[in-house]
Structure 1
Amino acid sequence: MSPVPKVRLSGGLEVCRVLNGMWQVSGAHGSVDNAKAVEAMQAYVDAGLTTFDMADIYGPAEEIFGKFNMKWKSSGDDIPALQGLTKYVPSPGPMGRKVVEKALQRSLTRMQVDSLDCVQFHWWDYRDKRYLDALGHLSDLQQEGLIQELALTNFDTQRLEEITNRGIRISSNQVQYSLIDQRPAAKMEHFCLANNIKLLTYGTLAGGLLSERYLGKPEPTSRAELSTASLSKYKNMIDSWGGWSLFQDLLVALEAAARRHGCSVASVATRYVLDRPAVGGVIVGCRLGVAGAGQHISDSLRSCSPDLELSVEDLDAIQAVTRRSGDLMVLIGDCGDEYRR
């Protein structure tokens, strides 16, 4: 198996182009055994998938990373470093330096690190301009060495430009990007390419809906069928995009491409986004302590392998379907607007 490719962010941090997402331990996907989750991280790291994405609001995610990181570092000298990307997601309120520092100190303690590889800042309400205060303090703390990379989560292009114009260096913006949701291609990609900002993307597999498991299957509608936060969220996105029948057409095109390349539908869907301009990496939810993680890891490795190259035939067939979908920029707005309606 080829080494997992990496991308260098503007502050110098190298991260895997497939990142392990830890939203699944937040509680929105069922109960989590923390000890088993720590143990399960080993398989990802052994496969070369050393970059983990988490947040201060993802339940015990930072603590799970911290426990594994300490165990990993004590296992020997000749081991690759882990990269821990977290998010700072404050509630609305004053954003003085002490408030920001306290939040980062909590993440440092939980993750058991002396400095933070990357802090991805999220803000709920653009009408409250105190996000600029918070980012100013985060930028200062970056200059002081507490943070290596300062990044954003779910900011739109207008605010990304506003922040950049204030002289705040942003390494990446984490946004939803998939064959279903291609809003970043409308405006954000162009701005990011011009300003050396990488997109780190989530939702690329639509919570698992973009897989053979749903090909030719009736539309899931019940809570039992949409049993996780991811399935429910991305099924709603499919409804806005064009509905279940069109989604089935997309799965047919993806399955045909997967057969040609000897891989899974998930690998094709991930590779499509990895190949988009400005995309630095794709965040794939890691199934910590859940059965079936081995195939999940294999799909991730295949998606970033140099042996997988989507052909003109593949792309034409896929785009023949996606062109028939609704315009999510019109229906929802720019990246992240779904969180602010």
Structure 2
Amino acid sequence: MQYNSLGNSGLEVSSVSLGCMSLKNADVNAENIIRKAADSGINLFDTADLYGKGENEILLGKALKGIRNGVLISTKVGNRWKDDGSGWEWCPRKSYILKAADESLKRLQTDCIDLYLLHGGTIEDPVDECIEAFERLKEQGKIRAYGISSIRPNVIREYVNRSEISAVMTQYSLLDRRPEEATLELLNQNNIGVLARGTIAGGLLVNKPAKDYLEHSQDEISQMLEKFSGIFKDECERQRAAIGYALANPAVTSAVAGIRTESQLDLGLKAAQTQPLSPNDLQVLKQLFPAKPYRENR
């Protein structure tokens, strides 16, 4: 497993990290998957207070008990469940972030969150207030580094210009190359790590049937995947190519793989342990999957 420096945080992160959102407390294998990932060299585990109304954080905290010192935890804040349970609302207020951090620490059974991310954000948010909250948490020793989880270039630019963020989690894949046009170079120039999520595009790049995806029609997807499968013959090769493409960008620190089963974990680990893609492979992939620009939130 390769490890990369996460921006200005001082944290060394495995090139593939584990997104825990799909793991459920009711699944008897969930803890085993987390432990196997850690035993295999994955050292960053990502969750959010939103997932399962906090249950996902509880699961992760339980699974990492006894090995906490050897791993890194990333969690997120900003989406608040409504009292009537009907859904959640966006709340990027300083008082809420400070309170939510304490609750996440309890659920995770830890005294410090390694990476704390704002779970979204809009250009209308009180950005300075959010930054004050994260800086306060750092001063208190409750978090080691902070950043945002966002696909919006205008929001990302605001935090780059106004804060000391260490990382941005953003969607990036062969089927969503928009960050190449709008944000990756900016983040790299400012020594801000990128955690790339959605690198296999919800399974489309590995084994799922074609469907509309972002601005690509089902027919476009089908044609691209047919050519892709002609070069990268099996699921393991396609996953390796998809993850390898994201990791080849110098801005990307780690590919966050959303794992639900042990077989998915095994595929992700194989992708992480193979050689980087050749310049020729990268050029072929760029030709197969043309980039499209952001239309909104520029």
Cα separation, partners in 2 of 1:126 and 1:198, compared to 1, 3 Å: same
DSSP 3-state at the match of 1:304: helix
| Distance in 1 between residues matched to 2:235 and 2:33, nearest whole Å | 27
Check whether the contact 1:122–1:155 (CA below 8 A) recurs between aligned residues: no
Of residues 34, 55, 69, the one that matches 1:41 is 34
The residue number in structure 2 matching 1:284 is: 257
Cα separation, partners in 2 of 1:11 and 1:251, compared to 1, 3 Å: same
The offset of 1:120, in angstroms, is 0.7
**Bigger share in strand:** 2
The offset of 1:135, in angstroms, is 1.8
The answer on 1:109 being equivalent to 2:140 is no
- 5 Å-filtered alignment, 1:1-341, equals 4-9=1-6, 10-25=8-23, 33=26, 35-59=28-52, 60-72=55-67, 81-90=70-79, 91-93=89-91, 95-96=93-94, 98-127=95-124, 129-154=125-150, 156-166=152-162, 168-211=163-206, 213-214=207-208, 219=210, 235-236=211-212, 238=213, 240-259=214-233, 263-287=236-260, 290=261, 293-294=262-263, 296-305=264-273, 307-312=275-280, 314-323=281-290, 327-330=292-295, 332-334=296-298
- The aligned amino acid for 2:75 is T
RMSD value, Cα: 2.5
Partner deviation per Cα, 1:110-159 (whole Å, 9 max, x = no partner): 001111101011344432x3242022121122133211111111053333
- The aligned amino acid for 1:249 is Q
| Distance in 2 between residues matched to 1:262 and 1:156, nearest whole Å | 31
| Distance in 2 between residues matched to 1:318 and 1:94, nearest whole Å | 38
The offset of 1:203, in angstroms, is 1.1
Cα separation, partners in 2 of 1:274 and 1:257, compared to 1, 3 Å: farther
DSSP 3-state at the match of 1:329: coil
- Give unpaired runs (5+ residues) of structure 2: 80-88
Partner deviation per Cα, 1:209-257 (whole Å, 9 max, x = no partner): 211x34xx5x5xxxxxxxxxxxxxxx44x2x432223223322343344
Cα separation, partners in 2 of 1:328 and 1:108, compared to 1, 3 Å: same
TM-score (norm 2): 0.86
Q: Which has the larger radius of gyration?
A: 1
| Distance in 1 between residues matched to 2:63 and 2:142, nearest whole Å | 21
Cα separation, partners in 2 of 1:192 and 1:35, compared to 1, 3 Å: same
- The aligned amino acid for 1:159 is V
Between the aligned residues of both structures, percent identity stands at 25
- The aligned amino acid for 1:316 is Q
The offset of 1:34, in angstroms, is 5.1
| Range 302-311 or range 105-114, more displaced | 302-311
DSSP 3-state at the match of 2:267: helix
- The aligned amino acid for 2:10 is G
| Distance in 2 between residues matched to 1:94 and 1:207, nearest whole Å | 28
| Distance in 2 between residues matched to 1:124 and 1:279, nearest whole Å | 21
